[in-house]
Amino acid sequence: MPRPEPVRLREAPGRPAPDAEVIDVKYVEVGRKRRGILGKLWLALVTVFWAAVIGFLIPPGWMLLQDIGAMFAPR
């Protein structure tokens, strides 16, 4: 299900209608977290770490699959 578009609020010129409700609340803008230099560096290090883990695990996994295939192969 797609995310609904946010409703943009804007001020209307002039005074509000006499029967209008006034919403007076504090709000916080929510959005993507802005990363600083250290945050970007940390994200890059974590990405390189996981790429290395995956890269080092593929060859032993491939060899394991070959050994299992050889074990079940007819002689």
pLDDT confidence band for 21 (50 / 70 / 90)? confident
Looking at per-residue pLDDT, the higher value among 29 and 55 belongs to: 55
Say what the pTM is: 0.46
CA distances from 18 to 1, 24, 34, 47 (A): 39, 16, 41, 57
Q: Is the dihedral of CA 58, 63, 64, 70 positive or negative?
A: positive
Nearest Cα to 29, choosing from 9, 58, 59? 9
Q: pLDDT value at position 51?
A: 96
